[in-house]
Amino acid sequence: MEYQIALLKGDGIGPEIVESAVAVLEKTGKAFGFTMAFHDYLLGGAAIDKTGVPLPQETVDGCLASDSVLLGAVGGPKWDDLPANIRPEKGLLQIRSILGLYTNLRPARLYPALAEKCMLRPDLVANGFDLVIVRELTGGIYFGERGRRTGKYGPEAYDTECYSVMEIERIARVAFSAAQKRRGKVTSVDKANVLESSRLWRETVHRVAEEYEGVTVEDMLVDNTAQQLIRNPAQFDVIVTSNMFGDILSDEMSQLTGSIGMLPSASLGDGTRGLYEPIHGSAPKYAGTGRCNPIATILSGAMMLRYSLNQNEAADCIENAVDQALSDGCRTRDIAGPEDTELSCTEMTKAILQRIEL
């Protein structure tokens, strides 16, 4: 069995971290008896430089012909002044939408070995936490009507948050199914005290909840959620929310685990093809320094094995190797304490490779 995997390395540290994940995937595949063929395609700033657009047609075709897609990161100061429709980020939004990936899973748990790097007081995370944000990914304000016009006070700009019942229902179903396999609790995050789209969100989520036995649902306003994540992250199991709230809350959440360099994500649709990427950005400051943390991308590779290729044991194996490397004290810059020896991206990758075994 050979799986076809499209690689969208992107910009900044993207190429380095994707190379790390590929090395880990290759070794894991060997250990579990399957192979993967990797195909590079351009996305983001790298694509703009070569073709003039952030998402060339060849990339779209390549992704559509693959079993799954692994992405590094896009963007950087070099492309910041381009018009909105040819910015690197636009390519990322387009590929998510073209592949129909309306679900974004962003899990976070406290690694006991990294407890000291967690930004919270130790007593607040004494029992750890393990939550997943289910972010709606192809709707809401990211894709709503936008523009410039002349208003009451002169030139103005607007963006629109719009959700259909269908879009809310399908993401709610993902959240409830996920909760059934976890601890059975869904927190639906909105701003229903102000926004009409949130009121529809809330109503719809509750209607869908009735289809799911053994799952409880609670509503939480997004501002309150921002503080509850810090006050008591262990109260959450599955958080389901809109595109923009999910974007913001997942960056907040990353600080609970110690570093944004640790968090993977899976973008999924109705089929098995998914797009897997770290939640962090392209970190242009660290590009080429060899000092970035490959773990978020390596764990994204593990999610790919689990959700797209149904290779659950291989996915567990990668996750265990990461756990082991961390408990053995392996640390990249972002998770190193003053006493730790800092490993480079390549050294961390080697440390994880060494811990991959049957």
Q: Which residues are catalytic?
A: 142, 191, 223, 247, 251
Phi then psi for residue 40, to 5 deg, are -85, 135
Interhelix angle for 295-307 vs 345-354, to 10°?
40
d(CA 24, CA 349): 8
Work out which of 172, 279, 302, 314 binds ligand IPM, going by CB under 6 A.
Answer: 279
Residue 89 interacting entry, from Mg ion, ligand IPM, none, C-beta within 5 to 8 Å by type: ligand IPM
245-264 residues near ligand IPM, rule: CB under 6 A? 247
Give 32: exposed, middle or buried? Use CB within 10 Å, 0-12, 13-18, 19+. middle
322-351 residues near ligand IPM, rule: CB under 6 A? none
CB 272, min distance to ligand IPM, A: 21
Which tokens in the block code for residue 12? 């900044």
CA distances from 312 to 47, 304, 307 (A): 33, 10, 8
Residue 92 interacting entry, from Mg ion, ligand IPM, none, C-beta within 5 to 8 Å by type: ligand IPM
CA distances from 191 to 162, 187, 221 (A): 13, 13, 5
Q: Measured from the CB atom, is 88 or 294 closer to ligand IPM?
A: 88
Residue 26 interacting entry, from ligand IPM, Mg ion, none, C-beta within 5 to 8 Å by type: none
Identify the DSSP state of 129.
-
Q: Measured from the CB atom, is 260 or 325 closer to ligand IPM?
A: 260
Edge-to-edge strand list for the sheet holding 130-136: 35-40, 2-10, 68-73, 274-278, 264-268, 103-109, 130-136, 238-241, 185-190, 216-221
Q: Assess contact for 149 and 166: CB atoms under 8 A.
A: no
Q: Measured from the CB atom, is 92 or 304 closer to Mg ion?
A: 92
Q: Measured from the CB atom, is 279 or 296 closer to ligand IPM?
A: 279
Which tokens in the block code for residue 30? 């060997």
Q: Measured from the CB atom, is 187 or 282 closer to Mg ion?
A: 282
The CA-based angle 289-291-292, given to 5 degrees, is 115
CB 266, min distance to ligand IPM, A: 12
70-99 residues near ligand IPM, rule: CB under 6 A? 75, 89, 92-93
Location of structure tokens 């900044």: 12
Q: Assess contact for 13 and 282: CB atoms under 8 A.
A: yes
Q: Which residue, judged by CB position, is nearest to Mg ion in the bound state?
A: 247
CB 143, min distance to Mg ion, A: 15
CB 196, min distance to Mg ion, A: 25
Residue 229 interacting entry, from Mg ion, ligand IPM, none, C-beta within 5 to 8 Å by type: none
Q: Measured from the CB atom, is 70 or 92 closer to ligand IPM?
A: 92
CB 240, min distance to ligand IPM, A: 16
Q: Measured from the CB atom, is 11 or 217 closer to ligand IPM?
A: 11
Q: Nearest-CA neighbor of 24 among 358, 324, 350?
A: 350
d(CA 40, CA 123): 46
Q: Which residue, judged by CB position, is nearest to ligand IPM in the bound state?
A: 89
The CA-based angle 197-203-208, given to 5 degrees, is 120
133 near ligand IPM, judged by CB under 6 A: no
CB 279, min distance to ligand IPM, A: 6
Residue 268 interacting entry, from ligand IPM, Mg ion, none, C-beta within 5 to 8 Å by type: none
Residue 348 interacting entry, from ligand IPM, Mg ion, none, C-beta within 5 to 8 Å by type: none
Interface residues with Mg ion (CB under 5 A) are 247
CB 256, min distance to ligand IPM, A: 16
CB atoms closer than 10 angstroms to residue 234: 14
Residues that bind ligand IPM (CB under 6 A): 75, 89, 92-93, 247, 279
